[in-house]
Amino acid sequence: MKEKSLSIHMMLPGFLFAVTLFICAPAGVYHADAGGFWFSFGDLLPYLFFFTAAAFVLITVLSCILPRKVSGVFRAGVYACSFLFWLQGTVLGQLSGVLNAVLWTAVIILFIVLAILLKDKFRRIVETAACILLVAQIVTAGYLYFKNQESQPEEPRFLSQKDELVLSSEANTVVFVPEAFDGQLMKQLLEKYPEETAGILPDFTFYPDTTGGVAGAKYAIPYLLTGKTNIAKQSYEEYISKEFNASPLIQELSGGKYSTGIYTSGQYVDLTRDDVIDNAEKGIPKASSAYELTKQFMKLTASRIVPAQMESLFRTYSGEFEKLKNSGNNEPYGIDDAALYQRLTGEGIAATVLINKPSFRFYHMSGVSEPYTLNRNLEHVPDGTGTEEEQALGTLRIIAEYMEQLKKRDIYDRTTVIVMADCGSPDHSDLGHCPLLMIKLPGMDHPFEISDIPLSYASMPEYLAEVLRNGPVLPDQWQQTGIRYFYDQSEENGVLNLKEYVNPGPGTEQKLAATGIVYHGDTARKTRKYTLDTELFFDARATAEDYQVSGFYEHEDGFTWTCGNDAEMLFELPEEPGDLEMVLRYRTFNGLQSVGVWANEKLVDIYYADGEMEELVIIPKGTVTGTQLRIRLELPDARSPAETGEGKDTRILALAMQSLVIREAELE
């Protein structure tokens, strides 16, 4: 029977495609990290509905006017893309690029072939599946929307530009936070462009041996203000509130003693603390262009649901959203370095300064984060043509201009200026753990200099509080010669992970060691539940990683090195066990290694390992009381390749772990 020119068969493909692409996919992306956006989802809806209607009409018209056979193939392709958009956003994001491309190609071809061969039968099947997918997506999107509405604060707040360039005639503490500016990059710039780095920044001291807090602005910015990250079983908002209250810096700023302006995205601070933050305003930020805001958000959405090879075409970053905030003294602050430079060179630091009240200013800058859209003169360049070095030199130019403004207002010698990047870059330091840190103290008069003392961002809130109280304070007493913690922020299937690492000691080119602890989303991920006879692997499968507590580096090609003289794992068993046996497979570093095996702090075995090994260790009944089994490998002969003359690697190695299994012992 011939189909009517306009029927449900013609309309359903376009409806599924349009709703999936322009309503449900954006809703999923937004509500997966609603706290990460300054705007509401409702701000996007007018244009999302417009795009939905336009896509629906276009696809439906094409379905009707194309020749019947061509129309059938076209609709099959539309159905295939709709299903793949949904699948990519929920499942396929973890596939490698090649597999991802193969799957997309295979599914589209399969849909078209089945549409040609099976015709009406395929149409009935795919239309039923489309209706099910539509209902599931709409219900999920509705649930997320209403859940997010329930969690919204009763009285929305935001950070404004209020008093951004107003300083005190008495004393000032100014902190610049450029994103992704690595300390190792600064060393390169000093060698290559001495006049545009050290030459324009006299009186600053550069501290290249600095370990940051967290990679990724969502946790890095709060870490600068609190010295803590979210390692408790609590939401991000609870973490912000709790650590703000406990921060020595925030405690010093409270009580109205200072004029305080924190210029960043409101999600990174406790906006209820208007006793601390003078530029915390009540109300809802508005976008300067709802169309541009929706367009940028659709680019972000597309990067999550298109094939992996196309992701770079739709790449966007948080700064693009920040630029779309309305400008003005009491309007939302937007992180836009070019606009900040224009205000600085135009209006300048206010001639009328605050009287008898010290000020604290915290400027979050886009810095050296991609894409590189500025040159050294803070002029915009086309996307894809900018460079990291040019944008970094532009960042330093803003700071140098600020210094000149301080001199013009005769407050340079009453101002402490600290440049502390939120984190470094993996292109320059391991995981980007080495951020740029430079300090200019009041009354100092010396050429740009470099200090090799080791520092950690964990101490910076306490140091900043001391600077506020006592003015020119050197950071020397906060140096750390022991281990320094660092957290790498990553996302898997829309869930945020904070992986813990340690910097083992002083030095600017250190390889970090994973402690094995990962904080998952807003709570600790580790359940450590273990079923006997399950073989765990230390290779790319990383199934042993959940049970690692400390003493392991990142997994490599087929193994994971132990780190230092102890490696510890923790297992939660379903019930108190009898006699157990543990089988370890590994190879040793540098020949003979002594291995002591401790189970729940009882020494159960000690032996010597050499080369490729498979060792069976008996854990007697009674060693485990309860269901928790803690295994510790004592490795007194661990050494580094640098120490043994086998290379420059400074990591302390003993065993290259390959696999482990714990099972009931077969005792005679």
Q: What is the pLDDT of residues 621-635, one digit of tens each?
A: 999 988 889 999 999
Q: Which range is least confidently modeled, 151-155, 223-227, 322-326? A: 151-155
Residue 274 has pLDDT above 90, yes or no: no
For residues 665 and 579, the answer to whether their CB atoms sit within 8 Å is yes
Which of 151, 183, 206 terminates a domain? The answer is: 151
Residue 419 β-bridge partners: 176, 438
pLDDT score recorded for residue 2: 46
Retrieve residue 121's tokens: 């039968």
User: Contact 177/435 with Cβ under 8 angstroms?
Assistant: no
85 and 127 within one domain = yes
Same domain membership, residue 542 and residue 427: no
Q: Of 621, 189, 599, 632, which is closest to residue 425 (Cα–Cα)?
A: 189
Task: Answer whether residue 551 is part of any domain.
Answer: yes
pLDDT of residue 309: 72
Residues facing residue 633 across a β-bridge: 567, 597
pTM of the model: 0.60
Q: What is the DSSP letter of 409?
A: T
Instruction: Show the tokens assigned to 17.
Output: 């495609």
Distance CA 668, CA 652 (A): 39
With vertex at residue 218, the alpha carbon angle to CA 214 and CA 222, rounded to the nearest 5 degrees, is 70
Average pLDDT over residues 343-366: 84
- Shared domain check, 237 and 386: yes
* Predicted local confidence at residue 327, as pLDDT: 46
Q: Is the pLDDT of residue 640 over 80?
A: yes
Greatest mean pLDDT among 270-274, 282-286, 616-620: 616-620
CATH code: domain of residue 411? 3.40.720.10
How much is the pLDDT for 4? 46
Alpha carbon of 1 to those of 4, 62, 69, 113, 176: distances in Å?
Answer: 9, 21, 14, 21, 71
Peptide bond before 371: cis, by omega within 30 degrees of 0?
Answer: yes
Residues 198 and 116 in one domain: no
Res 315: pLDDT: 67
d(Cα 347, Cα 351) in Å, to the nearest integer? 9
CA-wise closest residue to 608 among 596, 588, 594, 589? 594
Residue with tokens 């709060």: 222
pLDDT attached to residue 236: 79
Which of 126, 151, 176 is the endpoint of a domain? 151
Q: In this structure, are 428 and 538 located in the same domain?
A: no
- Please tell me whether residues 484 and 536 are part of one structural domain: no
Q: Which of 155-164, 177-186, 492-501 has the lowest mean pLDDT?
A: 492-501
**How many alpha carbons fall within 13 Å on the CB side of residue 637?**
16
Q: 357 and 233, same structural domain?
A: yes
Binned at pLDDT 50, 70 and 90, residue 349 comes out as confident
Task: Establish if 508 belongs to a structural domain.
Answer: no
Taking 80 as the threshold, does the pLDDT of residue 322 lie above it? no
Query: Rounded distance, CA 543 to CA 521, Å?
Result: 19
Cα separation, 253 vs 465, whole angstroms: 8
Closest C-alpha to 292, from 323, 264, 266: 323
Q: Over the Cα atoms of the chain, what is R_g? A: 29
**pLDDT higher than 50, residue 11:** yes
Residue ending a domain, choose from 122, 151, 180: 151
Ramachandran quadrant class, 516 (left: phi over 0; alpha: psi -120 to 50; beta: rest)? left
Amino acid in the structure at residue 106: A
For 255, counting Cβ atoms within 10 Å of its Cβ (0-12 exposed, 13-18 middle, 19+ buried), the class is exposed
Nearest to 415 by CA among 477, 359, 338, 331: 359
Residues 31 and 103 in one domain: yes
Q: What is the CATH number of the domain that holds 600?
A: 2.60.120.260
**Considering its fold, how many domains does the chain have in total?**
3
CA–CA distance, 24 with 48 (Å, rounded to integer): 10
Is residue 179 located within the same domain as residue 231?
yes
pLDDT in tens, 363-400: 999 999 888 889 999 998 887 688 999 999 999 999 99
Question: Which position has the token pair 């991609």?
Answer: 370
How much is the average pLDDT of 201-222? Answer: 93
Position with higher pLDDT, 523 vs 479: 479
Residue with tokens 């939120």: 422
Domain that holds residue 559: 526-664
Residue 280 and residue 267: Cα distance in Å, rounded?
12
Shared domain check, 212 and 361: yes
Average predicted confidence (pLDDT) for the chain: 86
Same domain, yes or no: 478 and 358: yes
b/e code 620-652 from CB counts within 10 Å (16+ = b): eeebbeeeebebbbbbebbbbbeeeeeeeeebb
Q: Which two tokens stand for residue 548?
A: 């690692």
Residues 215, 423: contact at Cβ < 8 Å? Answer: yes
Structural domain contains residue 75:
yes
What pLDDT score was predicted for residue 525? 46
In a domain, 325, yes or no: no
Is 261 in contact with 361 (CB distance < 8 Å)? yes
CA 89 remoteness from chain centre: 19
More confident position, 619 or 557: 619
504 domain residue, yes or no: no
- Do the domain assignments include residue 25? yes
Query: Binning pLDDT at 50, 70 and 90, where does residue 30 land?
Result: confident
Q: Is residue 68 part of a domain?
A: yes
Q: In a 3-state reduction of DSSP, which class is residue 426?
A: coil
Q: Say if residue 526's pLDDT is above 70.
A: no
The percent of residues in the chain predicted with pLDDT above 70, rounded, is: 89
In a domain, 519, yes or no: no
In one-letter notation, the amino acid at residue 9 is H
Task: Give, in degrees to the nearest 5, the angle at Cα 450 between 389 and 461.
Answer: 90
Looking at the fold, whether 29 and 61 belong to one and the same domain comes out as yes
pLDDT at 317: 60
Residues 124-139: what's their mean pLDDT? 91
| List of residues 6+ apart from 72 with CB closer than 8 A | 115, 116, 119, 123
